[in-house]
């Protein structure tokens, strides 16, 4: 790894956690969203990511897979680039992970590149590259917001998946912004497709699978996400078999309390939202898992209790991991986190949906960075 990459990565982590007074735009209420332009990159904001998590199964055997893809952009400088090939104004970090549930193996690769010939993102539309990893809008007669990902994971896997929205996109938060803290600039513009019909091919260890399933996609851009008293977060995307979805994030403070800007939002079959404040829902782990890679202790197998907007009654949803070891271990001196495919079970332990859970800040280094 080059010295430049080490410096860039340090800047990526620092800027992703702490607001910098460097002239970048902040997420403000009543933002004028325009598509497809806002599916693309926003270099006037410091931070941005396109984030996909999906459940897939083989159309032939039913073999299950989970996948996670993140394209992350951070602005290093507002100065004009000196070269289109060696541009140090933008840094691009990316993670690609494929879970083979049958073997319990998580295949992972991460990349770090500067903007130029090896990494870039269009400002006009969804078209993000990091090496040969490509996420791009591919409009069709069936849907103008269809998209495709092409990627690999070392020599182990090849992934080519098209996505077609089966529900309209949503914008989380109030007045066009998602607040993450009482600090006024700790907010983002948060665009989500909760349901993308997915079908395509996976190649894993020399074997080819035709797969189908559903994917969740988040796209956020901001210039600061967290407050200085926050030590980490727990996040979940939940798709229920009845056609409804839930997004939640639980922001943890140093005191051990849950930040009041945490939220849980139901998305109904027509993509209408119902939001609940943190005192109206709960999150409780059934057990802990200790990582053999980092020694971090993660609370997993989660019970979420929430009010169901349709019945106005409280119900419990269990988010049970398909595999315990789904930790993304940063090899480039990155922060490690748990990103896990889960089944959703009801009070009778009947599977009623699928979820992905993200647990960040449990390896201790996130807290160090925030201090």
Nearest CA among 189, 245, 194, 238 for reference residue 215: 194
pLDDT digits (tens, 9 = 90+) for 31-76: 999 999 999 999 999 999 999 999 999 999 999 999 999 999 988 7
Q: What is the per-residue pLDDT for 225?
A: 64
**If you search the block for the tokens 């199964």, which residue do you land on?**
57
Length of the chain as a residue count: 371
Q: Are 299 and 274 in contact (CB under 8 A)?
A: no
**Domain locations along the chain:** 3-17+32-370
Least confident of 127-141, 227-241, 315-329: 227-241
Pairing of strands 245-253, 187-204: unpaired
CA angle 358–312–236, rounded 5-degree value: 5
pLDDT digits (tens, 9 = 90+) for 221-230: 998 766 667 7
Name the band, by pLDDT with cuts 50, 70 and 90, for residue 257: confident
Q: Are 138 and 125 in contact (CB under 8 A)?
A: no
More confident: 87 or 135: 135
pLDDT digits (tens, 9 = 90+) for 176-221: 999 887 777 788 999 999 999 999 999 999 999 999 999 999 999 9
Name the band, by pLDDT with cuts 50, 70 and 90, for residue 125: very high
Least confident of 34-38, 109-113, 332-336: 332-336
For the chain, the farthest-separated pair of C-alpha atoms sits apart, in whole angstroms, at: 61
Q: What is the mean pLDDT of residues 306-324?
A: 98
Name the band, by pLDDT with cuts 50, 70 and 90, for residue 7: very low
- Retrieve residue 276's tokens: 């609940």
Asked if residue 285 has pLDDT above 90, the reply is yes
User: What is the distance between the alpha carbons of residues 115 and 88, in angstroms, rounded to a whole number?
Assistant: 7
CATH homologous superfamily for 3-17+32-370?
AttH-like domain (2.40.370.10)
Least confident of 22-31, 78-87, 102-111, 311-320: 78-87
The mean predicted confidence, pLDDT, of the chain is 89
Name the band, by pLDDT with cuts 50, 70 and 90, for residue 100: very high
């Amino acid at each position: 790894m080059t010295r430049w990459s080490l410096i860039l990565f340090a800047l990526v982590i620092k800027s992703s956690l702490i607001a910098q007074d460097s002239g970048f735009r902040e997420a403000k209420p009543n933002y004028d969203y325009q598509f497809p332009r806002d599916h693309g990159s926003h270099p006037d904001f410091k931070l941005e990511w396109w984030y996909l998590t999906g459940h897939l199964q083989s159309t032939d055997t039913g073999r299950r897979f989970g996948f996670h893809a993140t394209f992350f952009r951070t602005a290093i400088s507002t100065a004009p680039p000196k070269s289109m090939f060696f541009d140090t104004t933008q840094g691009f970090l990316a993670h690609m992970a494929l879970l083979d549930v049958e073997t319990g193996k998580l295949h992972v690769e991460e990349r770090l590149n500067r903007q130029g010939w090896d990494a870039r993102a269009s400002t006009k539309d969804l078209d993000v590259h990091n090496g040969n990893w490509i996420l791009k809008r591919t409009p069709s007669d069936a849907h103008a917001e269809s998209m495709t990902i092409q990627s690999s994971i070392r020599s182990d896997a090849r992934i080519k998946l098209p996505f077609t929205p089966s529900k309209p996109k949503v914008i989380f938060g109030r007045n066009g912004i998602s607040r993450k803290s009482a600090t006024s600039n700790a907010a983002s513009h948060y665009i989500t497709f909760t349901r993308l019909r997915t079908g395509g091919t996976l190649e894993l260890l020399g074997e080819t699978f035709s797969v189908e399933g559903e994917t969740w996609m988040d796209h956020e851009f901001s210039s600061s996400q967290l407050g200085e008293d926050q030590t980490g977060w727990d996040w979940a995307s939940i798709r229920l078999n009845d056609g409804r979805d839930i997004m939640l994030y639980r922001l943890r403070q140093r005191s051990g309390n849950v930040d009041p800007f945490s939220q849980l939002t139901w998305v109904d079959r027509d993509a209408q939202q119902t939001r609940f404040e943190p005192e109206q829902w709960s999150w409780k782990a059934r057990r802990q898992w200790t990582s053999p890679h980092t020694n971090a202790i993660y609370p997993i197998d989660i019970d979420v209790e929430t009010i169901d907007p349709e019945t106005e009654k409280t119900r419990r949803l269990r988010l049970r991991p398909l595999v315990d070891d789904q930790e993304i271990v940063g090899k480039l001196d990155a922060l490690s986190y748990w990103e896990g495919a889960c089944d959703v079970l009801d009070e009778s332990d009947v599977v009623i949906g699928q979820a992905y859970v993200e647990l960040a800040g449990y390896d201790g280094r996130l807290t160090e960075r925030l201090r």
